[in-house]
């Protein structure tokens, strides 16, 4: 069993190293500081790249510039706009109903409690933690694909584990509460830049260089073809 204090210290060093590499920890979804927009974009991001969500959302918000406008929009129009994000019928219905609830039940103000956010259609713990962290500065681990993959490779849990609930629980206990939101944003940048799902640039990894990640040395033979040159 791993020593919890040792793991927390290693997590702190990793957090510091990522902060040095990426001084600006910003959300990759361009929501202009408007909570209702991030609510919608978080839903659209499921099984879709942030880059595509940003493009699609710009068209959506140009056409429907308020949460009330989205709530009152014809469902067919919403479906047509969000179609490039995939799962367009479900996503369109979810964002329409979520905006209706936001306007009618919460006075247009995004809830600041996990249990309230989870009432909104299409909002799971990942999106709820994103909203709580970005909008309200509250702690929460956004267990997205980058977070799950990278924290596994870093050895905080088995690298082949893909359980977002376990990832959130484990990493919430290791990353300082005030650092959790920024930590997750930096993992997204790091996951695109270095620790990619395929062909990771282990030879360029500052965490490996600092002795904070040994994944490239301990991964099975089947992983070596995906680890890039070092």
**In a 10 Å sphere around its CB, with 0-12 CB exposed, 13-18 middle and 19+ buried, how is residue 199 labelled?**
exposed
Task: Tell how many helices (H) and how many strands (E) occur in the chain.
Answer: 14, 0
Distance between CA 219 and CA 153 in Å, rounded? 9
Active site residues: 126, 144
133 and 139 in contact (C-beta within 8 Å)? yes
Q: Are 175 and 187 in contact (CB under 8 A)?
A: no
Distance CA 22, CA 127 (A): 22
């Amino acid at each position: 069993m791993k020593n919890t204090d040792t793991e927390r210290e290693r997590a702190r060093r990793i957090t510091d190293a990522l902060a040095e590499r990426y001084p600006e920890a910003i959300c990759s979804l361009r929501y202009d500081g408007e909570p209702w927009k991030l609510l919608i974009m978080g839903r659209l991001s499921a099984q879709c790249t942030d880059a595509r969500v940003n493009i699609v959302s710009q068209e959506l918000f140009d056409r429907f510039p308020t949460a009330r406008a989205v709530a009152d929009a014809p469902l067919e129009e919403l479906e047509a706009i969000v179609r490039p994000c995939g799962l367009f019928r479900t996503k369109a219905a979810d964002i329409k109903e979520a905006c209706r609830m936001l306007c009618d039940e919460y006075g247009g103000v995004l809830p600041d409690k996990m249990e309230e956010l989870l009432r909104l259609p299409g909002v799971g713990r990942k999106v709820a933690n994103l909203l709580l962290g970005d909008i309200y500065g509250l702690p929460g681990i956004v267990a997205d694909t980058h977070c799950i993959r990278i924290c596994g490779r870093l050895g905080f849990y088995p690298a082949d584990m893909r359980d977002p609930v376990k990832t959130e629980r484990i990493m919430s206990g290791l990353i300082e509460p005030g650092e959790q939101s920024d930590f997750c944003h930096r993992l997204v940048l790091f996951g695109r830049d270095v620790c990619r799902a395929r062909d990771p640039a282990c030879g360029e990894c500052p965490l490996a260089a600092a002795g904070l990640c040994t994944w490239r040395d301990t991964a099975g033979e089947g992983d070596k073809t995906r680890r890039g040159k070092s």
